[in-house]
Amino acid sequence: MEVTCGAASQFSALMIGSKRIRRKPNMAVVPLNQREIKECVIKICDLSRKGMCRRQRRFDFRLSHSSNHSQVLESGNLCAAFNEDWLLKNKAQEVASCLNGRSIFLLGMMGSGKTTVGRVLSEALGYSFVDSDAHVEQAMSGTSVAQIFKQRGESFFRDHESEALRKLSLVPRQVVATGGGVVVRPINWKFMRQGITVYLDVPLDALARRIAAVGTDSRPLLHFDSGDAYTTAFVGLFTLTKKRSEAYADADTTVSLLDLAANLHLEDVSDITPTAIAIEVLVEIEEFLLGENGRSLRMYP
């Protein structure tokens, strides 16, 4: 095993506990012997198992979206490369044992990454992945969400969305990417509380950029005939956020991309990879299950 460092244009670092581990661009390849690799792995596992305080227990890492997803760890004299997928798998194993099969419901505005992060998370946990919009579309013989809105209206869609959530809430071991509007109907919370709800809090500008990049066609609440995609998406998202932010705050736990970016010393939330977000989701869920957010693990079977 060796540490491979490409000519990345930015630092890539992994912090374990309070120690900053940092890679500089164009750093040389550092071969490790078996004993050093083993020591690194043990150190990471120990830190993740120990009951350290919130900030210290967090796997903290700096990742480049454009990198090849390899990170470099430097601990004292030790250097090693650890793939973020490895970190995710490790955390997922730990959290899966606390979850007892409970499903995870990802909440957040359109474009917040519920589908993208949800897929990564489900794979790591060995859970199945479900998109509640896709569930509604299936129930409507393949009619798209955009078409349902157009032909039958929002209220009709919301009824079917609630029915989809009711059914999904009966199934364990799922990561459910919900539609952005599920939080507005109180009955949906009853269904989603069967699992754990996680709100992905993403700044409006990033949401609007993501949605403008793929177009607004599939998102009827943001689709208007005039205006550029970024501006219409931003204005639409802004209006919806004002109506929904209190409801999102009712989620069991929140992953704030702004906080995560700050923690990773990244200026742009878009530089945080879906895998890094998935790890943070697991960290937040673990904290929630351990009762640090006010509810006790004993509440769950």
The nearest distance, CB 265 to ligand S3P, in angstroms, is 29
Among 12, 48, 75, 116, binds ligand ADP (CB under 6 A): 116
Sheet containing 12-15: order of strands = 22-23, 12-15, 60-62
Closest CB 228 distance from ligand ADP, rounded Å: 17
Q: Is the Cβ of residue 58 or residue 114 nearer to ligand ADP in the bound state? A: 114
CB of 111 to ligand ADP, least distance (A): 4
- When the beta carbons of 161 and 284 are compared against ligand S3P, the nearer one is 161
Comparing CB distances to ligand ADP, the nearer of 17 and 111 is: 111
H or E element at residue 253: strand 253-256
CB nearer ligand S3P, residue 22 or residue 119: 119
Tell me how far apart the alpha carbons of residues 48 and 17 are, in angstroms, rounded to a whole number. Answer: 9
Nearer to ligand ADP, 27 or 109 (CB): 109
- Binding-site member from 87, 92, 183, 272 for ligand ADP (CB under 6 A): 272
Binding-site member from 21, 177, 278, 281 for ligand ADP (CB under 6 A): 177
Per CB under 6 A, the list member of 74, 84, 133, 252 interacting with ligand S3P is 133
Residue 144 beta carbon to ligand S3P: minimum distance, rounded to whole angstroms:
10
- Main-chain dihedrals φ then ψ at residue 172, nearest 5 degrees: -80, 170
| 160, 136 contact by CB (below 8 A) | yes
For the record, the structure tokens of 63 come out as 């990742």
* Shortest Å distance, C-beta 299 to ligand ADP: 28
Using rule CB under 6 A, residue 241 touches ligand ADP: no
Question: Which residues does 248 contact at the CB level (< 8 Å), separation at least 6?
Answer: 107, 108, 183, 199, 201, 254
C-beta of 182: minimal distance to ligand ADP in Å? 11
Rg (CA), the chain: 20
Find the shortest distance in angstroms from Cβ 62 to ligand ADP.
Answer: 14
Residue 56 is which amino acid? Q
Residue 199 backbone class (left: φ over 0; alpha: ψ -120 to 50; beta: rest): beta
Phi, psi (degrees; rounded to nearest 5) at 169: -70, -15
Q: Which of 220, 235, 241, 287 binds ligand S3P (CB under 6 A)?
A: 220
Give the single-character DSSP code of 144.
Answer: -
Total residues interacting with ligand ADP, rule: CB under 6 A: 15
Q: Could you tell which of ligand ADP, ligand S3P, none binds residue 113, using a CB distance below 5 to 8 A set by kind? A: ligand ADP
Residue 175 dihedral angles phi and psi, to the nearest 5°: -105, 120
Residues facing 198 on adjacent strands:
106, 253
User: What's the half-sphere exposure (Cβ side, CA atoms, 13 Å) at 147?
Assistant: 9
Distance, CA of 256 to CA of 112 (rounded, Å): 11
Specify the residue, 89 or 185, whose C-beta has the smaller distance to ligand S3P.
185
| Candidate ranges 34-42, 175-183, 196-204, 257-265; the one touching ligand S3P (CB under 6 A) | 175-183
Footprint on this chain of ligand S3P (rule: CB under 6 A): 110, 114, 133, 145, 179-181, 219-221
